[in-house]
């Protein structure tokens, strides 16, 4: 996509997970990749191909074994943990594959907390959190804790939390996986319309045809990830 700046750039990125006894598993090896700003990119690929690993690196939830990850002009992979956490709170909305809602807090509080970390004032947090939850069909579920919500409702709270701060970048890991087709369509339309209104960059992991069709581009991770999921043993000297 010529003429479009990059919201995310990866250079020489590898991620290897230690497996114990000096063994590691190479999950990711992406030499160069850029996510165009202000567009919806859908990332697809088989289970275990590194999609979540890639999103975690972009969000700064984990660090690459080698290489650099930049979000706009900030090399997030070079920031110490407290700065990475602050940067993510302000600039990135992340819908985790596992939702990661805080179990002791209500739906409304889960969304408000993400705004608090980004510095919004309390009345504004409450108003915006209530509004976005209502837009996602959860207006009657504000006071429910995660265990009182269905998986699909929890997923929508996670989406509301990612949207609440109007971050310039949203990462969404299979955001419609727990939703029926009609709710998935509504939630996807909401996500896309909020992002298109604000010029947000959206990077969505999905296999669903409706999501693939809605993207400005679809990227199969197997086309950019050269890792062979090899387990290697470190040489002992």
Ligand X SMILES: Nc1ncnc2c1ncn2[C@@H]1O[C@H](COP(=O)(O)OP(=O)(O)OP(=O)(O)O)[C@@H](O)[C@H]1O
Interacting residues with ligand X (CB under 6 A): 17, 25, 27, 45, 47-53, 97, 229
Sign for the CA dihedral angle at 62, 73, 124, 134 comes to negative
Q: How far apart are CA 77 and CA 8, in angstroms?
A: 12
Number of residues interacting with Mg ion: please give it, by CB under 5 A: 3
The distance of closest approach from Cβ of residue 46 to ligand X in the complex, given in angstroms and rounded to an integer, is 7
Q: Which is nearer to Mg ion, 97 or 125 (CB)?
A: 97
Write out the binding residues for Mg ion, residues 171-230 only, by CB under 5 A: none
Give the x-and-dash track for 85-104 against Mg ion (CB under 5 A): ------------x-------
Find which of Mg ion, ligand X, none residue 17 binds, CB within 5 to 8 Å per kind.
ligand X
Rounded to the nearest whole angstrom, what is the least distance from the CB of residue 150 to Mg ion in the complex?
21
**Residue in the shown chain whose Cβ atom is closest to Mg ion:** 52
CA angle 88, 218, 70 (to 5 degrees): 30
Contact (Cβ atoms closer than 8 angstroms) between residue 14 and residue 28: yes
Binding range to Mg ion, per CB under 5 A, among 47-55, 85-93, 175-183, 220-228: 47-55
- Give the contacts of 121 (CB within 8 A, at least 6 positions apart): none
- Token look-up 């943990």 returns 81
Least CB distance to ligand X at residue 131 (A): 31
Q: How far is the CB of 58 from ligand X (least distance, A)?
A: 12
Q: Which is nearer to Mg ion, 97 or 110 (CB)?
A: 97
> How many other CB atoms are there within 10 angstroms of residue 17's CB atom?
14
Q: Which is nearer to ligand X, 47 or 209 (CB)?
A: 47
Select from Mg ion, ligand X, none the partner in contact with residue 27, using the beta carbon and a kind-dependent cut-off of 5 to 8 Å.
ligand X
- 53: phi then psi, degrees, rounded to nearest 5: -60, -45
| 108/157 Cα distance (integer angstroms) | 8
Q: How far is the CB of 68 from Mg ion (least distance, A)?
A: 23
Which helix (H) or strand (E) segment holds residue 198: the answer is helix 181-198
Of the residues 9, 29, 52, 106, which one makes contact with Mg ion according to CB under 5 A: 52
Tokens found for residue 160: 């509301």
Q: Which is nearer to Mg ion, 52 or 114 (CB)?
A: 52
Residue whose tokens read 């919004």: 120
Give 45 or 168: the residue with its C-beta nearer to ligand X.
Answer: 45
The nearest distance, CB 141 to ligand X, in angstroms, is 26
Contact 193, 224 (CB under 8 A): no
**Alpha-carbon dihedral angle through residues 197, 87, 27, 34, given to the nearest 10 degrees:** 50
Binding site for Mg ion (CB under 5 A): 51-52, 97
């Amino acid at each position: 996509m010529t003429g479009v700046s990059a919201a995310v750039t990866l250079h020489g990125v590898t991620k290897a997970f230690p497996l114990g006894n000096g063994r590691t598993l190479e999950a990711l090896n992406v030499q160069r990749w850029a996510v165009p700003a202000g567009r919806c990119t859908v990332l697809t690929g088989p289970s275990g191909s590194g999609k979540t690993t890639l999103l975690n690196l972009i969000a700064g939830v984990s660090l690459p074994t080698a290489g650099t990850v930049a979000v706009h002009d900030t090399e997030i992979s070079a920031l110490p943990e407290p700065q990475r956490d602050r940067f993510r709170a302000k600039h990135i909305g992340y819908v985790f594959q596992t939702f990661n809602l805080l179990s002791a807090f209500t739906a409304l509080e889960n969304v408000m907390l993400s705004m608090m970390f980004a510095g919004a004032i309390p009345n504004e947090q409450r108003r915006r959190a209530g509004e976005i939850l209502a837009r996602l069909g959860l207006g009657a579920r504000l006071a429910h804790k995660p265990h009182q919500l269905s998986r699909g409702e929890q997923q929508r709270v996670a989406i509301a939390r990612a949207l609440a701060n109007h971050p310039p970048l949203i990462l969404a890991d299979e955001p419609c996986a727990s939703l029926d087709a009609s709710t998935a369509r509504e939630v996807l339309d909401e996500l896309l319309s909020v992002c298109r209104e604000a010029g947000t960059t959206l990077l969505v992991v999905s296999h669903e045809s409706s999501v693939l069709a809605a993207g400005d581009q679809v990227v199969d991770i197997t086309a950019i990830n050269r890792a062979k999921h090899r387990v290697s043993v470190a040489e002992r000297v």
